[in-house]
Structure formats: C-alpha cells, structure tokens
Homo-oligomer: A and B are copies of this chain.
Amino acid sequence: MLAENDEAGLRAVANDFHPASVAEFTEGLTVGQIWRVLDYAPLERQALILPYFPPGKQVKLIEGMGREHMTRLIEQMAPDDRADLLARLDPALVESLLPLVAQAERHDIRQLLSYPPDSAGAIMTTEYATLPAEITVSEAMCRLRAQAPDSETIYSIWILDAQRQLLGTVSLRQLVLAKPDILVGQLMQRDVATVRVDESRQQVARTLARYDVLAVPVVDSDGRLVGIVTHDDVMDVVVQEATNEVQRLGAVQPLVENYLEASFVRVWWKRAGWLSCLFVAELLTFSMLAHFEDAMASVLALSLFVPLCISTGGNSGAQAATLVTRAMALGQVENRDTWRVLRHELGMGITLGLTLGVIGFVRAALTPQQVLGNANRWDIALVISQAVAAICLWGTLVGSALPLIFRRLGFDPAFASSPFVATFVDVTGIYIYFHIAQIYVL
C-alpha cells in the first residue's frame, strides 16, 4: 500500500484496526514508513498505537519525529505507558522535552519517574475514576460521563473522602444495575485490598490474583489514593517475573530485551559473567581431585566413576532448588516453613538416594574385571552405591537449603540456580566420594 500510495487503504489501516494489530502490521517497516502510515490517524489514536510497539521501536519512533509533534503525542499517552517510554529515552532529551509539556502532565511525569523501577509506583497509572460517597447513583453516572476516563479504568470506581482517603470501591456494573436514587456510599464495598506506593510489583500481582479484581488501588503512607495498577499491566509483570526467574535459574543475568534482538555484546556480558564465575568455582574440582591423586593412582578404576557420582548430586540439587524456588515464587513457602521444607527434603533425599544407589550397585557389579583392574568388584559396587546415595541426599539438601538461605540474606532465591548448585555439589561431592572409597578399597 505504501508503494502504491494507496491513501484510502492506509487511512483504513491506521484508523479502523485494533491498535495492537496496527503495530503488528507495521512493525517490520522503517521509522519513516511507519510514520507515513500513522500520520493518517489523529494524535489520540497515535498515542494508543504507540505502546503496542516493542520498547526499542517506541524509542526510535519518538526520536524520529519533530519536537513539537513529540510533545503533543506524549501529552496524549496514558500516564503509565508514557512513564515507561520516557524512562527509556535519553535523560537529556526528556529534560529538553518536559518544559514543552503542559503543566499538569509535567508534574505527573516527574512524579511517576521518581519511583524505583520495581515498585507499585512505577507501574501504576494516575488515570482513574473517583466519586464521593454521599451522592446518588444517578448523579454518579452523570459525573462518570463527565470524567469519561480512558479505557477500562472506568470499571472500578474509587470512593474518596475530602482528604483523598480511600473509603471503598464500587464497580460500574453495580452502578448500572442499582436503583438511581440510592447513595453510592450504601452500595460500595469497604473491604478493599490496597498496596502502598513503595511496595514491590510482585506484591501488586499477588494482590490482584488473590482477589480477582480488575485493578489494585495504590495509596501513599497516609492512605491517600495516588494511582491504580490495572490487570493488563499486572499480566506484563507476571510474565516478566517468570522470565527473570527462569533466566536466573539457568545462570543468565535477566535479559529485558527480546532474545533475538538484544545486542550481542550485552548478551555475551550477561552470560560470560556467570559462566566465568562458575568456571572459576569449578576449578576447585581440580584441586580437590589433585588432593586425592594418590588414591586414584593406586586404584585407577575409582577415577572412572567420578563424573557419575558428582553429576548425581548436580541433578538432585537442581531438582530440589527448582522446586523450592518456584514454591517460594508462588508464595507456598514462607520463611517460617524453613524447617518443614528441610525435613521434607531430608526424607526425599534419602528415598531418592536409595533408588539411585540400587541402580549404581547393579551397574558397578556388572563391570568386566579387566576395566576394574586391581580393584575388587564388590568393594567398588559398595563404594559407588553408598557414594551415589550420600551425594544424592547431600545435593537435595543443598539445593533446597540454598534458596531459603539466599532469601533470608536478602538475595533473589533464583540465584541458587541449577548450575550454581551443581558446581557447589560437584566440589563437595568429590570429597564425599573419596572418603567413602577410603573405607573399602584404599
């Protein structure tokens, strides 16, 4: 359509489709081409379409237009989408734009940009519908029509007193179904779950999921309403948190960007950092083995089972760490459950260790004597089965304890990733293995 200059077609695309579809269709075009399409739509619609582009593209689109247009568009955007975008722009550019933005928006922008990036304040919007308690339903409907808030923020209406303290909430559904002459205050639900502006965005997500509400009100330390977080922004938080957790568990520093579009050097840095730390830690396996070099020299067959024994610890540790980390993220395991978790994993580690120990015994007993050299078959089988069982138990306990310890120390429990646990158990597993070996064959 762009090549044919099909004005009617472009106008239809820009105006009639869902904003998400417009962004999807034009995402592959150059910045100049996208603006040729979007210029067929009025400013308010441009402001609706813009947030559906990926964040990097939004920055390029904003930077690719004149300063005047940029300012008007930023004024039109929803407060939360706008704060998101401005947080990614060059701070010098933002500072040069702000004087051009209308007074009310300017204040709002500075306020939202001042919250820590992971707080409720950073993801809330300052656009919402409020009513006093002492008016009737029919008057409430008139006021709502006058406020006519954008988008879905109209469905939860917040009832405030003169000091902006939150008294309760009514839904648009209640107002529509209620008799016109009863008071809003009689209709409202008083037991409203709120979050404070400095609480974490995970807390917002948990509150919304727990109460199945459309929006969570955000209050300041005096209980005054300062914003709301809507369900669609919480969904983004939940997905982003899951991504962070999965990536930490896989020993990558969380990537905010799209995997295929992030810069090579940035991704390299986030991966090489962790891999190098793990590698340096894993060098200790060499030192530990060197310590037992004489034992291996006298019974060479012992060295054949080292990778088997330590990988058992790594696998059982990764499993336990994953289960505990996820249970913590879901709120199923609190700090007070520490001993319960460890008791549970103690029992689990013993039974899992017995299971693997039996398999290990059978395999070692079936080894041809020429491979075992000077070692006695049954001695080796006893060593392997006991070492596997002990290391499996050890890995399970370490894997379940580390996330709990990390949280108590104030770190993200997902740092106790599978590779981290595996490395720790590799080094200590070698020590366990050779100590058991010394009992039987050395």
Contacts and interface: CB of A to CB of B under 8 A. Distances in A.
Interface of A: 16-18, 20-21, 24, 141, 144-145, 148, 151-152, 154-155, 171-173, 176-177, 189, 191, 193, 208-212, 214, 231-232, 234-236, 238-239, 242-243, 245-247, 249-252, 255, 258-260, 264, 267-268, 271-272, 274-276, 278-280, 282-283, 285-286, 289-290, 293, 296-297, 300, 303-308, 310-312, 314-316, 318-319, 321-327, 330, 332-333, 337, 340-341, 344, 347-348, 351-352, 355-356, 359-360, 363, 367, 371, 388, 392, 418-419, 422-423, 426, 430
Contact of A259 (B151, B316, B323, B423): B323
10 contacts: A235-B235, A250-B418, A275-B316, A275-B352, A276-B359, A279-B356, A282-B311, A285-B308, A303-B303, A315-B419
A327 to B, nearest CB: 4
A270 B356 CA distance: 14
A335 to B, nearest CB: 13
Nearest to A297: B300
Contact of A355 (B239, B272, B293, B305): B272
B250 A321 contact: yes
Contact of A356 (B172, B193, B275, B285): B275
A272 B276 CA distance: 31
Nearest to A192: B18
Copies of the protein in its oligomer: 2
A424 B164 CA distance: 61
Given A148-B177, A193-B18, A303-B296, A275 B330 contact: no
A348 B271 contact: yes
Nearest to A239: B238
A360 B278 CA distance: 12
Contacts of A283: 308, 363
A436 to B, nearest CB: 17
A67 to B, nearest CB: 29
A404 to B, nearest CB: 13
B327 A260 contact: yes
A314 B318 CA distance: 12
B211 A260 contact: no
Task: In the A-B complex, list the 3 residue pairs whose CB atoms are closest, starting with the nearest.
Answer: A250-B322, A242-B242, A259-B327
Nearest to A414: B246
A280 B173 CA distance: 60
Given A193-B18, A243-B330, A246-B245, A255 B300 contact: no
Contacts of A332: 258-260
B371 A278 contact: no
A245 B245 CA distance: 11
B232 A235 contact: no
Contacts of A312: 275, 279, 282
Given A18-B193, A319-B419, A290 B371 contact: yes
B260 A318 contact: no
Contact of A155 (B148, B152, B239, B304): B152
Given A21-B191, A245-B246, A250-B322, A282 B259 contact: no
Given A145-B176, A286-B305, A333 B235 contact: no
Of A144, A210, A259, A289, most buried by chain B (CB within 10 Å of CB) is A259
B352 A268 contact: yes
Given A18-B189, A259-B330, A276-B359, 5 more contacts: A249-B249, A275-B352, A285-B307, A306-B306, A319-B419
Contacts of A154: 173, 176
Contacts of A305: 286
Nearest to A285: B307
Contacts of A271: 319, 348, 352
B212 A249 contact: no
A272 B363 contact: no
A318 B24 CA distance: 32
